């Protein structure tokens, strides 16, 4: 008898799962948009920040009457920060939820896992902040509203030479990340072109917490700055350990540093570091100020760059949807591709022929929990 | 020379952390022949217990010896209770089932804790409270030896000695060894096997608790998946030292830490894990039972 109730529980669990996963109600008065992001996992603030931005844009569109009388419904699915999950949730969004477009991911590795699926199913995909060039090279249905790594790497190389007057720079990159590898390569190319020397090029793995071996090696080469284009959790620990070893050279990075957690984890050690970003909270652009005000009103906190990028991606999608009397994937694709001079929170966005956004980048300096605007570098 | 000494210090300091977690694996394996895959996640829960207790009593930012003791106590108690619950609910019902079933259950418990942790604690990394101040204790040939390095090594060696004492010098330890040799005969001789096994889990997971506080002190970012990589490496360290052997776990951990460090220092950081694990494979080819493990003849 005891075995029987156990079996019953298992059977009912299995059947309830089968029932709930099978069908989703299709409502013709709704336009379904999907977002896939790392809502959990080691870079969970990326997905959460982006989702906040997207949700703000969608709610705003719905409050203004929706798109041609239809409300937009946003379905967010969690990639857990894993590429294989990204591929499976995007398939689910397209096949089961019948989304008209997908927004996401932040990490290039995950966007690269999802993009071939969106391309094959001919569903437009807009990534808010994946900067690796390969992402939009997947096909003509994949867009982005941010700059790309060659630009971001170039910006930081120029910054190192012109603003920091550095001649010898060391690189510490995450070997398992397309983002970090790409950014480093473009940084190195530009930095050498400008006459600089790369004195060390070390790497680490995705879940590493101890970087002292690499940092000891870097320290022995006496670099004037260290370029660490990683993600905030590890960058925080790297900064701490670098200071523990007595390294005084400033650290530099890319938009992967953009999280309030950076300072929380890294503490004093990250202060004074420089990174390139999509926007700065010091921006005086009216569209950026409007976004910041609305964001603060809704979430009661300051938006980071990823929220701004998510907001812009959703805004551009909504604007494209509004131009269409009837939504078909190919018409929507064409409408997104036509985006010119869209006043986004992260600057004026024009989608170019490679489906990338041309816009300027800012360099900010970490100063406690906030970042100070240093300079803006145009494409 | 200075660089070499720094690398040596880094490697020993990292290795002591692996060793501390490896002790927990080896302890449970030694008594039950069970690879307790949930160990690394019990350690994660310990870190979060310390984190929450610290914010509850307002110790996030007051490093000192008393903070260390409070956090150690919090984390050890939390780990012990959790391990007791796991043993009672997941492992004990399977005591008579084939070994493989309990092994798979351990993996299940491990995954359960990881995802349960993401749901309850939140997935984003949290800042672990400051435990001790990282002061320079001595300077040897230009290399600063700091509090963290010494504290971790010291605590690991003390734990190793305490464990050895419990297992080989106390009555309880005798009962543990009896259970390990033959559970049925031990219970016929009046040993309360359930109680001894529960005790084994308490000791093993208290070690995880200590480990979590020390790791949190050294790498102050904790997240629900923090156990996986350290757990895997600690497990390998335990096998390398000879699983079931207490000094073996410490030796294995330190070799592991040193080989990782030296590979980065003198070969390549890109292939660190591949080369470090390659070294381990070579050692195990020549010494299959691990460095300090006893080779046993399998009776068929």
Domains of chain A: 30-147+283-359 (3.40.50.2300), 150-277 (3.40.50.2300)
Q: Is residue B60 part of a domain?
A: yes
Place of tokens 């690499």: A214
pLDDT at position A22? 44
Q: What burial letters (b/e) apply to A154-181, b meaning 16+ CB within 10 Å?
A: bbbbbbbbeebebbebbbbbbbebbbbb
Q: Is residue B296 part of a domain?
A: no
Contact A349, A92 (CB under 8 A): no
pLDDT bin (cut points 50, 70, 90) of residue A24 is: very low
pLDDT bin (cut points 50, 70, 90) of residue A100 is: very high
Pairing of strands A251-253, B221-222: unpaired
Q: Which residues of A touch B3 (CB under 8 A)?
A: 216-217, 220
Q: Average the pLDDT over B155-170 and give the result.
A: 89
pLDDT at position A8? 57
**ipTM of the prediction:** 0.81
Decide which of A211 and A13 is more confident. Answer: A211
Count of A–B CB contacts within 8 Å? 83
Of A113-122, A143-152, A165-174, the one with minimum mean pLDDT is A143-152
Place of tokens 């004037």: A224
Q: Average the pLDDT over A238-267 and give the result.
A: 89
Average pLDDT value over all residues in chain B: 86
pLDDT bin (cut points 50, 70, 90) of residue B119 is: confident
Decide which of B2 and A161 is more confident. Answer: A161
A295, pLDDT greater than 80 = yes
* B61 in contact with A, Cβ within 8 Å: no
Q: Average the pLDDT over A114-138 and give the result.
A: 92
Nearest Cα residue in chain B from A241: B219
DSSP string, B170-197: SHHHHHHHHHHH-HHHHHHTT--HHHHH
Q: Is residue B299 part of a domain?
A: no
Q: Is residue B293 part of a domain?
A: no
With CB atoms and an 8 Å threshold, state whether B125 touches A205.
no
Nearest Cα residue in chain B from A267: B127
Decide which of B46 and A3 is more confident. Answer: B46
Q: Which residues contact B207 (CB under 8 A, 6 or more apart)?
A: B20, B21, B23, B24, B27, B159, B163
pLDDT at position A15? 53
Which of B57, B151, B228 is closest to B49 using CA atoms? B57
With CB atoms and an 8 Å threshold, state whether B228 touches A207.
yes
Average pLDDT value over all residues in chain A: 87
Q: Return the H-helix or E-strand segment holding A286.
A: helix A286-299
Q: Is residue B298 part of a domain?
A: no
Decide which of A223 and B271 is more confident. Answer: A223
Helix-helix angle A44-63:A286-299, to 10 degrees: 100
With CB atoms and an 8 Å threshold, state whether A233 touches B223.
yes
Q: Average the pLDDT over A273-297 and give the result.
A: 87
A178-225 pLDDT, tens per residue? Answer: 889 989 999 999 999 998 899 999 999 888 888 988 999 898 889 999
In angstroms, the separation between the Cα of residue A15 and the nearest Cα of chain B is 21
* A245 in contact with B, Cβ within 8 Å: yes
pLDDT at position B297? 55
With CB atoms and an 8 Å threshold, state whether A44 touches B3.
no
Q: Domain with B50 in it: what CATH number?
A: 1.10.3470
Q: Is residue B193 part of a domain?
A: yes
Q: Which of B17, B125, B224 to mutate to test the interface with A (most CBs of A within 10 A)?
A: B125
Q: Is residue B157 part of a domain?
A: yes
Contact A109, A177 (CB under 8 A): yes
Decide which of B1 and A2 is more confident. Answer: B1
Q: Average the pLDDT over B25-39 and give the result.
A: 85
CA-based max dimension of chain A: 80
* Total number of domains constituting chain B: 1
SS3 content of chain A, % helix, strand, coil (to 5): 45, 20, 35
B183-202 pLDDT, tens per residue? Answer: 888 888 888 888 888 888 89
With CB atoms and an 8 Å threshold, state whether A209 touches B123.
no
**C-alpha–C-alpha distance, residues B269 and B263, integer Å:** 7
A23, pLDDT greater than 50 = no
Q: Which of A79, A173, A209 to mutate to test the interface with B (most CBs of B within 10 A)?
A: A209
Q: Average the pLDDT over B53-74 and give the result.
A: 85
Q: Is residue B262 part of a domain?
A: yes
Q: Which residues contact A232 (CB under 8 A, 6 or more apart)?
A: A43, A45, A256, A257, A258, A259, A261, A262, A265
Range of the domain at B157: 2-286
């Amino acid at each position: 008898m005891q075995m029987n109730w156990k079996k019953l529980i298992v059977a009912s669990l299995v059947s309830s799962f089968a029932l709930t996963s099978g069908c989703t109600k299709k409502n013709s008065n709704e336009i379904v948009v999907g977002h896939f992001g790392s809502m959990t996992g080691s870079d969970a603030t990326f997905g959460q920040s982006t989702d906040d931005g997207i949700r703000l844009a969608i709610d705003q569109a719905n409050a203004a009457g929706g798109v041609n009388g239809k409300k937009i419904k946003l379905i967010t699915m969690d990639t857990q920060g894993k590429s294989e999950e990204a591929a499976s949730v995007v398939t689910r969004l397209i096949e089961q939820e019948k989304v008209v477009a997908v927004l996401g991911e932040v990490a290039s590795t995950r966007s690269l896992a999802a993009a071939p699926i969106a391309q094959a199913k001919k569903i437009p995909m807009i990534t808010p902040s994946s900067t690796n060039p390969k992402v939009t090279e997947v096909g003509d249905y994949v867009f982005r509203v941010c700059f790309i790594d060659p630009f971001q790497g170039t910006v930081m190389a120029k910054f190192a030479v012109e603003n920091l007057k550095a001649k010898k720079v060391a690189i510490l990159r995450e070997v398992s990340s397309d983002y970090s590898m790409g950014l480093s390569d473009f940084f190195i190319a530009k930095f050498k072109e400008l006459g600089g020397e790369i004195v060390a090029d070390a790497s680490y793995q995705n879940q590493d917490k101890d970087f002292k071996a690499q940092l000891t090696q870097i320290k022995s080469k006496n670099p004037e700055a260290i370029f660490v284009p990683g993600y905030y959790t590890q960058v925080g620990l790297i900064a701490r350990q670098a200071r523990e070893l007595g390294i005084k050279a400033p650290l530099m990075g890319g938009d992967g540093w953009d999280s309030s957690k950076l300072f929380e984890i890294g503490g004093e050690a990250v202060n004074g570091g420089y990174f390139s970003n999509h926007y700065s909270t010091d921006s005086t652009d009216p569209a950026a100020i409007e976004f910041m005000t609305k964001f603060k009103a809704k979430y009661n906190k300051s938006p980071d760059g990823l929220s701004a990028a998510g907001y812009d991606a959703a805004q551009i999608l909504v604007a494209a949807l509004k131009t269409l009397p009837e939504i078909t994937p190919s018409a929507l694709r064409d409408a997104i591709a036509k985006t010119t001079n869209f006043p986004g929170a992260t600057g004026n966005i024009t989608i170019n022929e490679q489906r990338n956004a041309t816009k300027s980048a800012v360099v900010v300096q970490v100063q406690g929990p906030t970042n100070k605007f240093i300079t803006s570098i145009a494409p | 020379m200075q660089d070499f000494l720094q690398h040596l210090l880094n490697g020993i300091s990292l290795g002591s952390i692996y060793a501390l977690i490896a002790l927990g694996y080896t302890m449970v394996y030694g008594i039950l022949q069970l690879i307790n895959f949930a160990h690394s996640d019990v350690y994660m829960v310990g870190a979060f217990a310390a984190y929450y207790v610290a914010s509850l009593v307002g110790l996030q930012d007051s490093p000192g010896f008393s903070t260390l003791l409070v956090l150690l106590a919090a984390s050890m108690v939390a780990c012990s209770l959790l391990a007791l619950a796991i043993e009672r609910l997941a492992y004990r019902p399977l005591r008579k089932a084939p070994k493989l079933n309990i092994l798979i259950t351990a993996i299940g418990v491990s995954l359960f804790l990881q995802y349960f942790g993401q749901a309850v604690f939140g997935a984003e990394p949290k800042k672990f409270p400051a435990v001790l101040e990282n002061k320079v204790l001595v300077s040897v040939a230009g290399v600063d030896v700091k509090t963290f390095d010494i504290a971790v090594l010291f605590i690991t060696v003390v734990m190793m000695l305490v464990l050895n004492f419990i297992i080989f010098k106390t009555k309880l330890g005798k009962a543990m060894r009896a259970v390990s040799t033959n559970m049925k005969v031990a219970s016929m001789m009046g040993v309360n096997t359930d109680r001894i096994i529960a005790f084994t889990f308490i000791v093993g997971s208290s070690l995880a608790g200590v480990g979590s506080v020390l790791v949190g002190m050294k790498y102050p970012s904790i997240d629900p998946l923090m156990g996986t990589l350290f757990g895997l490496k600690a497990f390998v360290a335990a096998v390398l030292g000879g699983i079931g052997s207490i000094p073996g776990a410490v030796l294995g951990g330190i070799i592991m830490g040193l080989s990782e460090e030296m590979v980065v220092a003198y070969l390549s950081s890109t292939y660190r894990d591949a080369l470090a694990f390659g070294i381990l494979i070579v050692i195990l080819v020549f010494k299959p039972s691990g460095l300090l493990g006893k080779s046993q003849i399998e009776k068929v």
